[in-house]
Amino acid sequence: MPLDPTPVPDELRGLRIALLISGGIAAYKVVDLASALVQAGSEVRVAMTSSATRFVGPPTFEGVTGSRVQTGLWSGGTSPEPHVFLGDWAQLILVAPATANVVGRIAAGRSDDIVTATLLAARCPVVIAPAMNDAMWAKEAVQENVTTLRRRGVTIVEPESGHLASGHVGTGRLASSQTIFNAMAHAVRSRYDFAGRRVVVTAGGTREPIDPVRFISNYSSGKMGFALAAAAADRGAKVTLVSAAAHVAHHGVEIQHVDTAEEMLAELRSQLRGADLLLMAAAVGDFRPSRAAKRKIRREETPSLNLELEPIPDLVASLAGDEALAGVFRVGFAAEDSDLDAKGVEKMKRKGLQAIIANDISRRDIGFGSEYNAGVLLFSDGTRHDLEKSTKREMSDRILDLVLPKLKR
Ligand code: C5P
C-alpha cells in the first residue's frame, strides 16, 4: 500500500523547486520528498552529484518529477548553459542530503560540479539539509562551514539524532521531511510576498500599421515593463506580460505579444479577469493612421504621401469603465518633462487609475532605452513616494513594495 505523502505547506505549492542531491545514503528519502512536492503542484527539477547517482539512479527522480535529471556540467537537456540553468530557473533550492564534502565545497564557493555551480548561479532562497556520520557533523571544519553558510543567508536544517547508517546512534541523520518542508516554507514566506496574486504588465511601444511593411511607433524599449514582470514573478506572482516589445521573458512570466493598441486592449480585457494588479508600463500610441493600406505603398507610384491620423482611445481609461474589472488595482505611467506631481495627479484622475508613476523624460540619464529610471509614485489617496534613481529592476521592486499593501486580500 503506498504511504501517504508528507503534507506540503501551501507556500511551496506551484513554486519552481530545484532539488540538489549529493552522495549520502539518505538520498533515497529525497525521492518521497520530491514525489510529495510534485503531488502538491510544485514544479520540481533535480540535479545530482556523481556520487549521489551511486545511491539512487537518475531514472527514479525522472520518473517522479517528469523532468530530465542533470548530473553534470555538460548535460543540460535543451539548455545552452547547463551550469547556470537551474539556478536561474529555481524559486527555491533544497540541497538534501548535503554531505560534509558538499557543505565544504559550497562554503568555499566552488563551482566544479552541477550542484555547486547551480548554487553559485542562484538568486533564490537556499535550504541545506546536511546528513552525515555523527563524528563528521561534530567536526570543527564542518561546523565552521555551516556557520559560514548561515551567515550568508542559507537556511540550515540541522540533522537529527537517531540510528545512523554506521550502526550506532548519534546526530547526523537527515531531518524529517516535515521539518525540511517547514524550513523551506519559512525560507520563502517573506520572499514570495506576491504568491497567489495575478499581475498583468504591459510593455513596449505599440505599432500602428501604415501598410503591410511600415508602422508608426515610439522609442519605448519595453525595459521597464519587462523589469516589473520579472520582479513580480520572482516574488511569486502569476504574471502575464502583454508586450509590444520583443525581449526574452523572465522565467515564470507568460508573454502575449501584440502590435497595435487595439490588440493590446483586447488582450488586456481577457487577461485582466480575476487579476489583482495592472501595471501599465507600455507606451501606447496616441495617434494611428485612419486607414492602413492593404498593399505596400510603392514610391514609384506615390509622388507624395499624406497620412491621415486619428486619435487612439485611452486604454486604461476604457478599462476603468469596465465593471467586470473593477477589482483590478490599476497603475499607470506618465512620461513628463516638467511638473511631475501636478501632471501625474491630473492624469491619474482623468484615466481612473489608483496610482501613477511619473518619470522625468527631460533627464538624459534615465528613461527611454536606459537601464535606469527615477520619478515619483502617486496614489489616488493623496500619498506620494519619491522613486530615487535606480536600475529599472530595483525601481520595480520598490514599486511592488509600495503597491502590495494597497491590494485587496
Ligand atoms: O497620456 P499618457 O500617454 O502620458 O499616459 C500614459 C499612461 O496611459 C501609460 O500608463 C499608458 O500605458 C497609458 N495609455 C493608455 N492608452 C493610450 C495612451 C496611454 O492606456 N492610448
Ligand 1 centroid – CA 322 distance (Å): 17
Ligand 1 centroid – CA 207 distance (Å): 14
Please state, for a pLDDT cut of 90, what percent of the chain lies above it. 80
**Which amino acid is residue 173, in one-letter code?**
R
Pocket test for ligand 1, best of 265, 284, 287 (most atoms within 8 A of CB): 284
Residue 255 has pLDDT above 60, yes or no: yes
| pLDDT tens, residue by residue, 354-372 | 999 999 888 878 877 788 8
Mean pLDDT of 213-220: 95
Say what the pLDDT of residue 5 is.
84
Ligand 1 centroid – CA 280 distance (Å): 8
Ligand 1 centroid – CA 314 distance (Å): 6
Start and end residues for every CATH 3.40.50.10300 domain found in the chain: 198-406
d(CA 284, CA 315): 8
Residue 2 has pLDDT above 60, yes or no: no
Name the H helices within 235-357: 261-271, 315-320, 340-350
CATH number of the domain located at residue range(s) 198-406 in this protein? 3.40.50.10300
Nearest CA to ligand 1 atom 4: 334
Please state, for a pLDDT cut of 70, what percent of the chain lies above it. 98
Ligand 1 centroid – CA 317 distance (Å): 9
d(CA 60, CA 112): 24
Nearest CA to ligand 1 atom 19: 284
Ligand 1 centroid – CA 393 distance (Å): 21
Nearest CA to ligand 1 atom 6: 334
Nearest CA to ligand 1 atom 17: 314
DSSP 306-326: ---EEEPPPHHHHHHT-GGGT
The set of catalytic residues is: 218
Pocket test for ligand 1, best of 200, 267, 280, 319 (most atoms within 8 A of CB): 280
Q: What angle, rounded to 10 degrees, do the helices at 140-151 and 100-107 form?
A: 50
| pLDDT tens, residue by residue, 275-317 | 999 999 999 999 999 999 999 999 999 989 999 999 999 999 9
How are beta strands 160-163 and 155-156 bridged, if at all? unpaired
CATH class of 10-189: alpha beta
Start and end residues for every CATH 3.40.50.1950 domain found in the chain: 10-189
Q: For ligand 1, which residues put their CB under 6 angstroms from it?
A: 261, 280, 282, 284, 286, 312, 314-316, 332-334, 347, 351
Ligand 1 atom closest to Cα of 332? 10
Nearest CA to ligand 1 atom 21: 314
If you average pLDDT over every residue of the chain, what do you get? 93
Q: What is the pTM of this model?
A: 0.76
Whether the Cβ atoms of residue 174 and residue 159 lie closer than 8 Å to each other? yes
Phi and psi for 86 in degrees, rounded to 5?
-65, -40
